[in-house]
Structure 1
C-alpha cells in the first residue's frame, strides 16, 4: 500500500519543494493551501489512507495553528513546519499531540523531513514495549509513541517479561521503569539480556530520581545491567523521541550491516559464507536426512555474450526470486557466478527430487525479459544425500553429479 501525505502550505515556493521531498520518500502528495481546502480533501478521503499531514503553522485562514488541531482531530499524525520558533509559538506547538516541528529557517529541514516521513512508515511494523507499574505514566509514554505510528505493548510488571518478548517478535525496543511493584527494572534488564542481545533488542531504562546523584547512580546501574540508554523523569518529549529514534535506528544499522555481510550483492540471496554458517547449525543437530543440490544455469555465458551483462543480471535476479519462492523453507545461496546451492535438512533424497524437478521445469518455462527482449534459460542440477562429517563432502558429491548432468545434455537432474 502506498500512503498519502496531506501537505497544507500556503507559500507556493515552499509547496513545490516540499512536494518533491515527499515524493522522493515514495509517498503520494495531496496538497492544500488553506484550511478550508484541507477540510474539503478530508471530506472526500479516508483518514486511514494518510501516513501523516505536514502542516504550516500559519495559514491565511488559520494563523494560530488551527490547521494542526484539525489534522489531529482527524486522527492523522502531524508534522508542523513553521517560520517562527519564538517561545509562545513553540510552546503552542508542543502543547499539541504533534509528531514533531521543523523550523523553516533550518537548512536541514528537507533532509530531516524526508527522514521523518520514512521513519513514520517504518514504525508501523515496529513494536515498543513500555514496562511501568503506574498506568498514568504508561499512558503518557504510549500516547507519545502512538504519534510516531509504533505498535504499542504495555506491561505493569516484569513478570514473565522474557516470555512476552519471545511471543512478540515485532518488539524492537523496551522502555522500562526502575521502580516496579515486583522488583527493580535494573534486575529485569539483566534477566532479559540473558536471552536478547543488543543486536536484537534495545532497552531504555527510566526512573524518577529525587536528586542528581541518585539519577547518576540509577543510570550507571541500568547501563551495567545491559540497558542501551537512560531517560530521566520528568522528560521533555523532544528528548524522548530523540532517544527512541536513536535506539531504533541503531538496530536497523546493525541489521543492514549483517545483511550486507551475509547477502549476495546482486540477488540478495545468502552468500556462500552465510550458507556455510546456516548449514553447520543444522549439522550440529541430529538430522535423520540431509540432501544438497548444486545448480548451474545452462549456457549462461552465451546470454551475456549475446544480450549483454545487464540482461544476464536480470536472469540471475529472476532466477533467484524463483529459487527463494520454491525453497523458502530451506537453506539457499548464490555460490557465485551462475552457480546456486540448496540444502534441505530432514528431507530425504526421494522427497527432494520432485521438489527440485518442479523448480527445474518452472525455470525452463520462464521467459526473462529486459527492454522488450526475452530469453529462456535452463538449469542443470546435481543432488546428493551422501555425507562424510562435513558439508564440503556433500558439495563434492553434488558437484560430481552436476558435471554428469551437464554431460547428459543439460536441463536435467543427476542424483546418487
Structure 2
C-alpha cells in the first residue's frame, strides 16, 4: 500500500495515529507539522508517492484550511481533521471534493481515519458504472466518486449500461437513474439480475420521484438500495460504503467456504460442485475428460523428521506448483497430502503427459526447511471418462494411485 501524508501540528494527535497504525504493518505515513513542511514534502517526494492526505483544518501557518485547498489542487484524496464541530465549517468543507470531515473527539476518530485509508486503497480496484441520461447528473455523481478513488465508467441509458456490464464482469457497483430512454432503471435491474446476483454486483437506484413505492419497486426488482434525489454527500457515501462492505463480507465468507485454509487452493466442496457441472458439460459436448488423484510420497516422514510446520510449508510449495501446472483446469486439495484435478478436453494420453511433466517438476523442486534443502516426489492415478459419474472417476483414479504406490511411488499410473 502507498504511504499517506499526515499534516498535523499536534504531537499528541501524531502519537495516537502512530500508535494505532503500528497495529497494521501495511500502514505507512509521513508527517508534516505545517503547511510549509507539507508543501516541501510533496514537492520533494512527488504526489504519486501518497495514497491520500490527512490534514488538520487549522495550522499555525494555514489557519483557514489553506492546506486542504492545496492537497485538493494536487488531486490528492483528502481527509480533513478538525478539533471542534462547526456546522457552517462542516458544510463548507463538504462542498469541496474531500473524502470526509472528521472531528478529533477520541481514539475512534483516528481509527475511522485509518479505516478510510484502507477503503481508499481497496477502492482503486473497484469499478463503478453510473447510468443516467442526464450528462449533468452523471458528472455530479462521478465528481462525488472520484475523490474516493473508484474507477468510474458512465452510460447514458439502460441499454448501454447493460451492454457494458455484460462485457465487463469486474464492475462491482451500478448507480442507476430510473428515468432513462431506450431502457429505464427497472428494466435494467431486471435484466442484470437474470445473470448477476446481489452478492456479485451492488445496484443502487436513483430518482427524483422519491415516493416510497418507487424505492420499494426498485428493491423488489433486484436493487440493493435506493436514494432519492437530492441526497447529501454523507448519505451517498454511507450507503455506498455499507453496500460495498456487505458485498466484501459475503465474498470473504464464500472464499472461506470454497478454499482450503492452509494452501488457499479450492477445497473438496468446490471440486465436487464445479466438477459435477464440468463433467455434465463434457458429456453433452462429447469431449474427453480425465481425472487425476495426486499424493505426496512419504509425506508423514516430513512431519516426523522436520515437524508439522515443515509439513505445512511443503504443502504450500506443492500447491504453488499445482497452480502452475493445472491452472486452466478444476483442481483442489482433497485433504491431507492428496490433491485432485479434473481435466476437461484432455484424453488419457495428454493427461498422462501433463502428469508426467508435473511429476518431474515436483521431483526437481528444492524445498527449504529450516536451512535444509529437501525434495519430495508425487504419485498419481488417472481415470478416463466414459460417461462415468464423478464418484466413479474418483474411485478408478484411486485404484490407479494405489497401483502407483505399490509400484514403488514417484510414478503415474493410468487406466488402460
Superposition TM-score tier, normalisation by shorter sequence: over 0.9
> Are positions 1:277 and 2:273 aligned together?
yes
Describe how 1:143-292 pairs up with structure 2 within 5 A. 143-209=143-209, 215-285=211-281, 286-292=285-291
Deviation track 1:351-396 (CA, whole Å, cap 9, x = no partner) reads: 1222222221121122222443333211111112144530111111
Contact 1:129 1:153 in 2 (8 A): yes
Residues 78 and 98 in structure 1, CA contact (< 8 A), matched pair in contact too: yes
Which secondary structure state, in structure 2, belongs to the residue aligned with residue 179 of structure 1? coil
Query: Are 1:34 and 2:34 an aligned pair?
Result: yes
Q: How does 1:110-129 map to 2 (within 5 A)?
A: 110-129=110-129
* 1:343 shift after superposition: 0.8
Please, which moves more after superposition, 279-288 or 32-41?
Answer: 279-288
Q: 1:386 to 1:181 in 2, by over 3 A?
A: closer
SS of 2:220 mapped into structure 1: helix
Q: CA offset at residue 247 of structure 1?
A: 1.2
Q: Per the alignment, do residues 373 and 11 of structure 1 end up closer, same or farther by CA in structure 2, a change over 3 Å counting?
A: farther
TM-score using structure 1 length = 0.95
**1:49 maps to which residue?**
49
Partner of 1:406: 405
Shift of 1:192: 1.9
Q: 1:351 to 1:289 in 2, by over 3 A?
A: same
Superposition TM-score, scaled by structure 2 size: 0.95
**Alpha-carbon shift at residue 184 of structure 1 (Å):** 3.0
1:362 aligns with 2:361: yes
| TM-aligned CA distance change 1:396 to 1:70, over 3 Å | same
Cα distance per residue 1:154-186 (max 9 Å; x no partner): 111112433210212221111111111335312
C-alpha distance in structure 2 between counterparts of 1:112 and 1:361, whole Å: 51
Aligned CA distance change for structure 1 residues 25 and 205 (closer, same or farther; 3 Å)? farther
Partners of 2:288 and 2:385 within 8 A in 1: no
Once the two structures are TM-superposed, the CA of residue 106 in structure 1 deviates from its matched residue by 4.1
Whole-Å separation in 2 of the counterparts to 1:160 and 1:89: 40
Once residues 42 and 337 of structure 1 are traced to their aligned partners in structure 2, the CA distance between those partners, rounded to angstroms, is 52
Which ranges in structure 1 are unaligned for 5 or more consecutive residues? Answer: none
2:60 match? 60
> Is the 1:404–1:414 contact (alpha carbons within 8 Å) kept by the matching residues of 2?
yes
Q: What is the distance in 2 between the residues matched to 1:371 and 1:75?
A: 48
Q: Deviations over 1:21-40 (max 9, x none)?
A: 44526133121111111111
Name the structure 2 match of 1:4: 3
Distance 1:297 1:332 in 2: 15
In 1, the alpha carbon distance for the partners of 2:66 and 2:227 equals 32
* 1:287–1:345 CA contact under 8 A, matched in 2: no
What is the CA-CA distance between 1:411 and the residue it aligns to? 1.3
- Pairs within 5 Å for 1:325-340: 325-340=324-339
Contact 1:275–1:331 (CA<8 Å) still a contact in 2? Answer: yes
* Matched residue count: 411
- Structure 1 Cα separation of the partners of residues 289 and 356 of structure 2: 18
- For residues 115 and 151 of structure 2, what CA distance do their matches in structure 1 show? 19
Structure 1 residues 237-280: Cα deviation after superposition (integer angstroms, max 9, x where no partner): 11000111111111111111111111111111111111011111
